[in-house]
C-alpha cells in the first residue's frame, strides 16, 4: 500500500490505515495508508524545493498549459472508471459522476487557455524612458484541502488554476472520499508534472489538515468545507500570514413569484435541493414562495418528493443516492427532530426508507417542511442533506428580506416571468451566484464563491486564477540620470 505521493514517488504513509466505505451498503471499497506527521513535512519540503529551485514555476506558460490539456485528455480517456469510482466513494448516481468528470475536464482546459493568454500588462507612465509592466507570478506552496461531496470537482477548481499559475501543491482530500483525488494525482504525474510539483497526503483534519495549515513553508491555503473548519483555518493561517481562500457552503434561497410556470418550477425546486441528496453547497434548501402560489406548490413539491427513487448510484434507475456517511445521516435526523419541535409542518419524508434493499446504506427520504420561518434552526443552518423548508412571502420587499436573512451568501435563485422584477431581485440578493429561472448551472469562465459566512475569495473564472498569483510591478528606467535629491 503506497497512497502518499511525495516528490514524484508513491510511498507508504506512517499514520496507520483507514477504510473507504461505500455509502450505498457500508461495504469497504478500499483500505488506504494514512500520512503521519513526517509525511506531511516531507510533502511540504518537496513542494517547497520544487517551488524554490525546481522547473515547474520556471516552465513557460505555454508548456504548463499543454500539460493541463494533457490531463484533460487523460480524464476523458479514463472517464468511465473515474465516474464509477466517484459513485462508489460518494454514493451519487453514475450520471452525476460522469457530468463531474466532464466538468473537471472543462476546468483544466479553461485554465490552460486562460493562463496561456495571461501576459500581464504594460502601464503607460507618461515617460518615454520608463517601461512599467505588471506581471503575475505564482504564490508558492499551496495546500489544497477538499471535502467529500464533490471530491474530484472541487479539487479541480483548486489544482488546475494553482498549477496553471506555476505553484506547487500539497493536496489533502477528505478522509471520507479520497479515491478520485488519488486518481487525479496519477493522471497529473502521467501528464508529466515534475517531481515535487504535485503531492498528496491522506488523513483527517486533525492529523494532516491542521499541520498543513500551520506549516511555515506553506504560502496559501485553499479550503472548501464547513464554516467551523474554515474559521479554524483562518485563525491558524494568521500566524504565518498565509493567503487563504475559503468556500464554506450556504443556505440558499430559491424565490418563486406566482407568475412563473408551475410545472417547471416544481421540477427545478426538487432538483435544486435534492440533487446528490442535498449534499451540495449551493443546494436550494429554502423555497420562498409568493402567497397565492404557496399551497398548490407545497402540495405538488411534497407529492413529487415522495416519488423520488432512492437506490444504488450504479443503477441507472436510481434518482438519488444515500448520504455520504452515518455521521451525516445522524445530523439530518437531528435537524428533522428540531424542525418538528419548532413547529414546522412535515409534508414529505422525515424518515429512513422502508425498502430492505437500502437498509445497510446511509439513506434518508427526501423531506419537505412547510410553514417554516427564519427563527427555526432548520432554516438558519446548512443541513447538507435532503431537507427542503418552505416559507411564504407577500410582495417583493419581503421576498428579498427573507432571501437575504441568512448568515450565508453563496447562491440563490429567483423565478418570475417579469424580467424587471427578476433583475431587481437578482441585484438585491447578497449571494455570490444568482440564477434567474434556473438552478445549479455554473461554468468555468464565471466566478464561484460566497459573501458573508459563505467564505472569502472566488474559484473559477479569471479571479479563480488570480487567487494563485502574486502581482508584481516592474519599473524600468532606461535612462537614469543624477537627480541631486541630496547634495553631492
Ligand atoms: O467538513 P469539514 P465535514 C459543511 C456541511 C457539512 C459540514 C461538516 O454543512 O455538514 O460542513 O462537514 C478537513 N484543518 N460542508 O465535517 O470538517 C477535512 O479533513 C485543516 C460544506 O466533513 O470542514 C476535509 O478534508 N483541515 C461543504 C475538509 O477539511 C481540516 C462541503 C472538510 O471537512 C480541519 C463539505 C482542520 N482543522 C461540508 N478539520 C461545502 N462548502 O461545499 C477538517 N479538515
Residue 268 and residue 400 in one domain: yes
The mean pLDDT of 46-75, rounded to a whole number, is 98
Total-model pTM: 0.97
Helix (H, G, I), strand (E, B) or coil at 145: strand
Closest CA to 97 of 27, 24, 170: 24
Whether 480 maps to a domain, the answer reads no
In what helix (H) or strand (E) does residue 347 lie, and over which residues does it extend? strand 345-348
User: How large is the average pLDDT for residues 133-148?
Assistant: 98
Please give the backbone phi and psi of residue 415, each rounded to the nearest 5 degrees, phi first: -120, 120
pLDDT number for residue 486: 87
Whether 456 has a pLDDT exceeding 90, the answer reads: yes
For ligand 1, what atom is nearest to the CA of residue 280? Answer: 42
For residue 281, indicate whether it is catalytic: yes
Residues in Cβ contact with 219 at an 8 Å cutoff, skipping those fewer than 6 apart: 139, 140, 141, 142, 242, 243
Q: In this structure, are 83 and 209 located in the same domain?
A: yes
Q: Is the CB of 333 under 6 A from ligand 1?
A: no
Which atom belonging to ligand 1 lies closest to the Cα atom of 228? Answer: 23
- The structural domain count of the chain equals 2
Residues 98-119, mean pLDDT to the nearest whole number: 96
Residues 286, 411 within the same domain? yes
CA of 248 to the centre of ligand 1 (A): 8
| Co-location of 245 and 263 in the same domain | no
Categorize the per-residue pLDDT at 163 as very low, low, confident or very high, splitting at 50, 70 and 90: very high
Q: Whose CA is nearest to atom 28 of ligand 1?
A: 147
CA dist 244 and 161 (Å) reads 15
pLDDT in tens, 171-193: 999 999 999 999 999 999 999 99
Is 481 contained in some domain? no
Tell me, yes or no, if 247 is annotated catalytic: yes
CA–centroid distance, residue 325 to ligand 1 (Å): 13
Same domain, 300 and 240: no
Task: Say which CATH number the domain at 305 has.
Answer: 3.40.309.10
The answer, yes or no, to whether residue 1 has pLDDT greater than 90, is: no
Q: Provide the b/e sequence for 404-421 (b: ≥16 CB within 10 Å).
A: bbbebbbbbbbbbeeeeb
- Give the cell for residue 232: 479554524
State pLDDT tens for residues 297-342: 999 999 999 999 999 999 999 999 999 999 999 999 999 999 999 9
Going by C-beta distance under 8 Å and a sequence separation of 6 or more, which residues neighbour residue 322? Answer: 23, 24, 91, 277, 310, 329, 358, 361, 362, 363, 364
Residue 393 maps to a domain: yes
Residue 291: is its pLDDT beyond 90? yes
Domain housing 267: 253-436
The answer as to whether 93 is a domain residue is: yes
Tell me what pLDDT residue 472 has.
97
Residue 116 placed within a domain: yes
Share of the chain above pLDDT 90, in %: 98
- Residue 488: pLDDT band (50, 70, 90) is confident
pLDDT averaged over the chain? Answer: 97
pLDDT recorded at residue 487: 84
Residue 486 is assigned to a structural domain of this protein:
no
For residue 226, how far is its CA from the centre of ligand 1 (angstroms)?
4
CATH number at residue 75: 3.40.605.10
pLDDT in tens, 372-411: 999 999 999 999 999 999 999 999 999 999 999 999 999 9
- Ligand 1 binding pocket includes 147 (Cβ within 6 Å): yes
Grid cell of 416 as nine digits: 418570475
> Does residue 484 form part of some domain?
no
Task: Tell me, yes or no, whether 331 and 420 share the same domain.
Answer: yes
Residues 190 and 233 in one domain: yes
Distance of CA 308 to the CA centre of its chain: 25
- 429 CA distance to ligand 1 centroid (A)? 26
| Active-site residue (options: 247, 290, 381, 396) | 247
User: Does 243 share its domain with 262?
Assistant: no
Q: Is there a contact between 140 and 219 (Cβ–Cβ < 8 Å)?
A: yes
Under the banding of pLDDT at 50, 70 and 90, the label for residue 343 is very high
Whether residues 244 and 266 share a domain: the answer is no
The confidence score (pLDDT) of residue 313 equals 98
Closest protein CA for atom 3 of ligand 1: 226
Residue 291 grid cell:
402567497
pLDDT at 33: 98
State in Å: Cα 154 to ligand 1 middle: 12
Q: Is the CB of 175 under 6 A from ligand 1?
A: yes
62 and 203 co-located in one domain: yes
Q: Strand 130-138 and strand 469-477: pairing? A: antiparallel
Three cell numbers at 17?
Answer: 490505515
Same domain, yes or no: 232 and 99: yes
Among 142, 281, 372, 467, the active-site one is 281
Cα angle 16, 20, 24; round to 5: 160
Q: What is the pLDDT of residues 264-280, one digit of tens each?
A: 999 999 999 999 999 99
- 483 occurs within a structural domain: no
76 and 30, same domain (yes or no): yes
pLDDT value at 118 more than 90: no
Amino acid at each position: 500500500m503506497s497512497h502518499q505521493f511525495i516528490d514524484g514517488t508513491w510511498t507508504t504513509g506512517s499514520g496507520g490505515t483507514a477504510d473507504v466505505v461505500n455509502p450505498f451498503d457500508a461495504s469497504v471499497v478500499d483500505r488506504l495508508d494514512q500520512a503521519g506527521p513526517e509525511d506531511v513535512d516531507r510533502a511540504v519540503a518537496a513542494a517547497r524545493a520544487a517551488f524554490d529551485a525546481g522547473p515547474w514555476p520556471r516552465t513557460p506558460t505555454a508548456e504548463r498549459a499543454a500539460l493541463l490539456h494533457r490531463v484533460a485528455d487523460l480524464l476523458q480517456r479514463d472517464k468511465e472508471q473515474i465516474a464509477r469510482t466517484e459513485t462508489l466513494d460518494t454514493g451519487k448516481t453514475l450520471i452525476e459522476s460522469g457530468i463531474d468528470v466532464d466538468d473537471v475536464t472543462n476546468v483544466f482546459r479553461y485554465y490552460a487557455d486562460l493562463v496561456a493568454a495571461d501576459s500581464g500588462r504594460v502601464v503607460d507612465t507618461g515617460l518615454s524612458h520608463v517601461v512599467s509592466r505588471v506581471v503575475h507570478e505564482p504564490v508558492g506552496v499551496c495546500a489544497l484541502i477538499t471535502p467529500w461531496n464533490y471530491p474530484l470537482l472541487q479539487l479541480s477548481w483548486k489544482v488546475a488554476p494553482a498549477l496553471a499559475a506555476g505553484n506547487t501543491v500539497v493536496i489533502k482530500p477528505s478522509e471520507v472520499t479520497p479515491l478520485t483525488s488519488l486518481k487525479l494525482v496519477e493522471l497529473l504525474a502521467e501528464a508529466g508534472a515534475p517531481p515535487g510539483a504535485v503531492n498528496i497526503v491522506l488523513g483527517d483534519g486533525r492529523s494532516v489538515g491542521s499541520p498543513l495549515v500551520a506549516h511555515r513553508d506553506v504560502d496559501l491555503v485553499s479550503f472548501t468545507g464547513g464554516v467551523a473548519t474554515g474559521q479554524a483555518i483562518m485563525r491558524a493561517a494568521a500566524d504565518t500570514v498565509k493567503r487563504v481562500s475559503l468556500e464554506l457552503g450556504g443556505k440558499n434561497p430559491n424565490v418563486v413569484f406566482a407568475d412563473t410556470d408551475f410545472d417547471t418550477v416544481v421540477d427545478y425546486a426538487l432538483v435544486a435541493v435534492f440533487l446528490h441528496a442535498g449534499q451540495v453547497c449551493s443546494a436550494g434548501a429554502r423555497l420562498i414562495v409568493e402567497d397565492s402560489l404557496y399551497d398548490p406548490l407545497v402540495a405538488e413539491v411534497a407529492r413529487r418528493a415522495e416519488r423520488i427513487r432512492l437506490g444504488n448510484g450504479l443503477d441507472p434507475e436510481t434518482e438519488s443516492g444515500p448520504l455520504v456517511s452515518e455521521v451525516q445521516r445522524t445530523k439530518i435526523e437531528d435537524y428533522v427532530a428540531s424542525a418538528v419541535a419548532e413547529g414546522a409542518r412535515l409534508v414529505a419524508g422525515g424518515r429512513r426508507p422502508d425498502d430492505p434493499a437500502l437498509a445497510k446504506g446511509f439513506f434518508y427520504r427526501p423531506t419537505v417542511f412547510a410553514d417554516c420561518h427564519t427563527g427555526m434552526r432548520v432554516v438558519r443552518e446548512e443541513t447538507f442533506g435532503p431537507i427542503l423548508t418552505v416559507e411564504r412571502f407577500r410582495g417583493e420587499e419581503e421576498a428579498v428580506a427573507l432571501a437575504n436573512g441568512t448568515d450565508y451568501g453563496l447562491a440563490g435563485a429567483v423565478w418570475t416571468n417579469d424580467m424587471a422584477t427578476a433583475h431587481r431581485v437578482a441585484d438585491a440578493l447578497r449571494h455570490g451566484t444568482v440564477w434567474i429561472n434556473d438552478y445549479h448551472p455554473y461554468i468555468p469562465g464565471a466566478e464561484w464563491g460566497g459573501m458573508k459566512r459563505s467564505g472569502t475569495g472566488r474559484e473559477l473564472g479569471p479571479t479563480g486564477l488570480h487567487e494563485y498569483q502574486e502581482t508584481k510591478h516592474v519599473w524600468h528606467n532606461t535612462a537614469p540620470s543624477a537627480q541631486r535629491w541630496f547634495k553631492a
